[in-house]
């Protein structure tokens, strides 16, 4: 759910250090997330730190980083929070912080995440962004992911406690898709979240999301990776148990 053009546009608003900005943008386009983060941090601006957080978040979304995943999520959180210390209203920093918090919550028990208010904080950040920018597709997609992840992790009890719903999640995803129809990311993550729930009622919608997503052309390495994931997804669509297990595994890594 990372929107490349949104990330690149705010990066280019930063003052001086043209070489660092260009290097960070090029590294992101090529899928070298670590280099992109490094070059963006060198800007020493809120834009730079927010971009760096977004680059690490992109890596978490499309790579299996194994044992490094928790440390990577914490690095993204630190970078986004540092950006917010420099500019407390920085929109992309808020969105990246919410996304990174989602990964922090994924790597702890649902009860511990709830008690430490990890999901609550992530939702508040995203809803604040959407209140300010109703057309922020990245934030809307992450809100969709937030609701479906609550359904996956917490079931009916989690949905009730956190006032979440699958319907709300898909509503947010639909808005994100409408606002950025060229991006395969919201289609992929929406389908992934639904498939992990293993409900027959969602199977037609899952197939539609996967098939329409695969028809899109990638604009950068992140979207190319997403399209690769959609290809794997499509290969499993006819076996509902297999695709549900695959989706659940993807959402745990």
Binning pLDDT at 50, 70 and 90, where does residue 18 land? Answer: low
Task: Report helix, strand and coil shares of the chain as percent, to nearest 5.
Answer: 80, 0, 20
- Taking residues 150-155, what's their average pLDDT? 96
Left (φ > 0), alpha (ψ -120 to 50) or beta: where does 44 sit?
left
Residues in the chain: 253
Q: For position 105, what pLDDT does the model report?
A: 94
Please state the rounded mean pLDDT for residues 129-140.
98
User: For position 109, which CATH number holds?
Assistant: 1.25.40.10
pTM of the predicted model as reported, rounded to 2 decimal places = 0.90
Would you state the torsion angle of the CA atoms of residues 56, 69, 77, 57, taken in this order, to the nearest 10 degrees?
30
Instruction: For residues 154 and 110, give the distance between their C-alpha atoms in angstroms, rounded to a whole number.
Output: 7
Q: Count how many Cα atoms sit within 13 Å of the Cα of residue 140 in the half-sphere of its side chain.
A: 20
Per-residue confidence (pLDDT) for residue 55, from 0 to 100: 98
DSSP E strands, the chain: none
Contacts of residues 106-111 at CB distance under 8 Å and 24 or more positions apart, as own/partner, are 106/149, 106/153, 106/251, 106/252, 107/69, 107/70, 107/73, 110/153, 110/154, 110/158
Domain region containing 96: 4-250
Segment 118-133, tens digit of pLDDT: 999 999 999 999 999 9
* Number of compact structural domains in the chain: 1
Smallest Cα–Cα separation from 91: which of 199, 206, 7?
Answer: 7
pLDDT reported for residue 95? 98
The rounded distance, in Å, linking the Cα atoms of 222 and 89 is 26
Q: Is the pLDDT of residue 248 over 50?
A: yes
């Amino acid at each position: 759910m990372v929107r490349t053009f949104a990330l690149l546009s705010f990066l280019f608003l930063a003052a001086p250090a043209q070489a660092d900005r260009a290097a960070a943008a090029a590294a992101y386009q090529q899928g070298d997330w670590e280099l992109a983060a490094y070059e963006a941090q060198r800007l020493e601006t809120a834009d730079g730190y927010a971009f760096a957080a977004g680059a690490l978040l992109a890596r978490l979304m499309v790579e299996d980083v194994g044992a490094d995943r928790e440390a990577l999520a914490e690095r993204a959180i630190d970078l986004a929070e540092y950006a917010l210390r420099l500019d407390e209203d920085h929109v992309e920093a808020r969105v990246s912080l919410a996304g990174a918090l989602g990964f922090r919550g994924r790597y702890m028990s649902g009860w511990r995440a709830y008690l430490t208010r990890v999901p609550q904080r992530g939702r508040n950040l995203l809803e604040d962004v959407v209140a300010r920018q109703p057309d922020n597709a990245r934030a809307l997609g992450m809100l969709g992911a937030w609701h479906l992840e609550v359904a996956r992790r917490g079931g009916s009890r989690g949905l009730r406690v956190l006032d979440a719903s699958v319907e709300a999640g898909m509503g947010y995803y639909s808005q994100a898709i409408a606002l950025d129809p060229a991006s395969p990311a919201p289609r992929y993550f929406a389908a992934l979240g639904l498939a992990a729930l293993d409900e027959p009622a969602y199977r037609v919608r899952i197939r539609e999301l996967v098939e329409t997503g695969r028809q899109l052309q990638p604009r950068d390495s992140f979207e190319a990776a997403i399209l690769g994931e959609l290809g794997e997804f499509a290969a499993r669509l006819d076996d509902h148990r297999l695709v549900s297990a695959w989706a659940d595994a993807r959402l745990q890594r």
